[in-house]
Chain A
């Protein structure tokens, strides 16, 4: 074995992780009065106890594609820093175990719960009954995801004195940026702060120009090993740190709705990178609604909690400004092509670091934080 081969092997998963607990709910033809999430939670309980752990020790969650991760985490009562669903049909269990191992090896979590299960009688399947169908829909929630975000917005105004005028700046600055992005759905349609404030309500305090528009589109990227990256046509965009946290599925299940999982995920990403918020030169942050950009910038540590309103009043966040945010217009002005809507933040961060921002190129383009 050459030295290179040996080094390659030491960079792999080999011998890096171990299974330390297992759990199983007895298999029966039908288990009455139980749900898929309930059976999963019971298996999780058994495995956690088997390992001699408490649920607070578990900071990773990998499940199959049938389970909604947020619902699973909420049901089990954990907030993992790594969570994903693996859909590989019959190979899902082995694949999920491998993914869990990679996450531990990569420093995204220390102790991962891998759990999957089935209930043939359960109606908690896509389109079936859910927490939402039982506890929310009869009270008339708003279109899209606006109900929860509006309640975060209302609570943020109450706790910190944030105003709708301040949040309108978030949307207006991103619209300004979109005027230099021909791929943005609102390219060629400027909108000022006043335009935002005079647009109609979807649900108070969210106006339509503070909310994403569903669109068609797609995005992709190619990633390779850092030791190969210099031989490619563009300036390499290195990943220096990453962090995740899986929060609740339902906003009313969250203790403090004005604090998002970004408080944990950003701290972990900064810790891995060796950098801090003050080192970042620009940011590409998930923006289904204005208020989410605002609270996640706070939670990432760019400003103190509750100070995002004054920050937007005093800081130019356009691509020309001292701290550019969502330089391609974000989803609010770029549009939301499904899950590629949030992916745009990764793509635009990479584009700017490559120096390919064109008319919207930021001046300082070495360090960017992305939130998805």
Chain B
């Protein structure tokens, strides 16, 4: 953490909407927005529920367990800052609670990924302020 982190950090669309997610990640907790009107759990967070349009939503803790929905192995990253890490796994994980999240798979060989393989969350404290939500085989 003391060495300089030179990769892009999340640039938030709306602090008021998604700051609780990133604050929770920093505490090594995974939370998801849920609609208090229709109970729909959704991700990414937004100003109103994409299902019923209610703006009455809450944050709830989730298990951090899920499955690999799909993935790619990146050899040529869009951002050169990632080049030294390549090839690495960029995946969509489907949480057991339903929502899907883009992420990296850690502690996994690039030819060792199978779809629907169970994974669990890993909190990667990339800087003093920012923790990224990643996954590893469960």
Give A residues with C-beta under 8 Å from B.
32-35, 37-38, 41-42, 45, 55, 74-77, 122-124, 128-131, 133-144, 146-147, 150-155, 158, 200-206, 251-253, 257
* B92 contacts A by Cβ under 8 Å: yes
Among B13, B76, B92, B101, which residue has the most Cβ atoms of chain A within 10 A? Answer: B13
Q: 19 A-B Cβ contacts within 8 A? A: A33-B14, A33-B15, A38-B46, A41-B46, A76-B50, A77-B53, A131-B44, A133-B11, A134-B12, A134-B13, A136-B102, A137-B10, A139-B90, A141-B102, A142-B78, A155-B70, A155-B115, A158-B70, A252-B69
Q: Which B residues lie within 8 Å of A129 (CB)?
A: 11-13
- Known A-B contacts A124-B13, A129-B11; the reply to A204 vs B102 at CB < 8 A is no
Question: In whole angstroms, what is the CA distance A76 to B53 when docked?
Answer: 8
**Could you tell me if B72 and A147 are in contact, using CB atoms closer than 8 angstroms?**
yes
* B126 → chain A closest CB, angstroms: 8
Q: Which B residues lie within 8 Å of A41 (CB)?
A: 46-48, 53
* A255 → chain B closest CB, angstroms: 9
Q: Which residue of B lies closest to A78 (CB)?
A: B50
Q: Which 4 pairs from chain A and chain B are nearest by CB?
A: A33-B16, A38-B47, A150-B72, A204-B73
Question: In whole angstroms, what is the CA distance A153 to B55 when docked?
Answer: 36
* B104 contacts A by Cβ under 8 Å: yes
Q: Which A residues lie within 8 Å of B85 (CB)?
A: 140
* B24 → chain A closest CB, angstroms: 15
**Could you tell me if A138 and B48 are in contact, using CB atoms closer than 8 angstroms?**
no
* B119 → chain A closest CB, angstroms: 14
* A139 → chain B closest CB, angstroms: 5
Question: In whole angstroms, what is the CA distance A33 to B18 when docked?
Answer: 11
**Could you tell me if A134 and B10 are in contact, using CB atoms closer than 8 angstroms?**
yes
Give B residues with C-beta under 8 Å from A.
7-18, 44, 46-48, 50-51, 53, 55, 69-79, 82, 85, 87-88, 90-92, 100-104, 110, 115-116, 126, 130, 132, 134
**Could you tell me if B13 and A155 are in contact, using CB atoms closer than 8 angstroms?**
no
- Known A-B contacts A33-B16, A252-B101; the reply to A42 vs B75 at CB < 8 A is no
**Could you tell me if A152 and B70 are in contact, using CB atoms closer than 8 angstroms?**
yes
* B1 → chain A closest CB, angstroms: 16
**Could you tell me if B47 and A34 are in contact, using CB atoms closer than 8 angstroms?**
yes
* A75 → chain B closest CB, angstroms: 6
Q: Which A residues lie within 8 Å of B116 (CB)?
A: 158
- Known A-B contacts A129-B13, A139-B102; the reply to A77 vs B75 at CB < 8 A is no
Q: Which residue of B lies closest to A55 (CB)?
A: B53
* A136 → chain B closest CB, angstroms: 5
* A25 → chain B closest CB, angstroms: 11
Question: In whole angstroms, what is the CA distance A341 to B81 when docked?
Answer: 29
**Could you tell me if A138 and B78 are in contact, using CB atoms closer than 8 angstroms?**
no
Q: Which A residues lie within 8 Å of B104 (CB)?
A: 139-140
**Could you tell me if B110 and A204 are in contact, using CB atoms closer than 8 angstroms?**
yes
Q: Which residue of B lies closest to A142 (CB)?
A: B74
Question: In whole angstroms, what is the CA distance A293 to B53 when docked?
Answer: 35
Among A123, A131, A154, A155, which residue has the most Cβ atoms of chain B within 10 A? Answer: A154
Question: In whole angstroms, what is the CA distance A201 to B12 when docked?
Answer: 31
